Structure 1
Amino acid sequence: MAKQPQQHRARKRFGQNFLQDEGIIRRIVRSVSPQEGQHLVEIGPGMGALTEVILEATDRLDVVELDRDLIPGLKVKFFNHKGFNIHQADALKFDFSTLVDDGQPLRIVGNLPYNISTPLIFHLLDQGPVVRDMHFMLQKEVVERLAAEPSSNDWGRLGIMAQYRCQVESLFLVPPEAFDPMPKVESAIVRLTPHKELPYPAKSFECFDTVVRSAFAQRRKTLRNNLKGLMEMSLLEALEIDPTRRPETLSLQEVVAISNAYADLQGKHD
Structure 2
Amino acid sequence: MSSTGKHKSAMMSAEVTPGPSTDVEKAIAEGDTNASPPSKKIKTETEDTNSYMKRTFDARRSFITVELPPIIEVKETYPELFTDKQIMMEFQRITDIDLDISLQRYCVDHKQDISDMCRRIPSAKDILTQAEMVKKEIPALEPYWDMVVSLCLIPYMMKENLCDMVIEIGEDEQVDPKGKIVPVLISKGKVFSSDEFILVVEEEIVQVFEEFTIAFASLFATYWIFNMEYPDTLLNTYNFIQKVMVNLKDGSGLPNLCREIQQKLIKLGKTRSNKEKPK
> Is this a same-fold pair by TM over 0.5?
no
- Which structure ranks higher in relative contact order (CA pairs < 8 Å, sequence separation ≥ 6)? 2
TM-score scaled to structure 2, two decimals? 0.25
Identify the structure with the greater strand proportion. Answer: 1
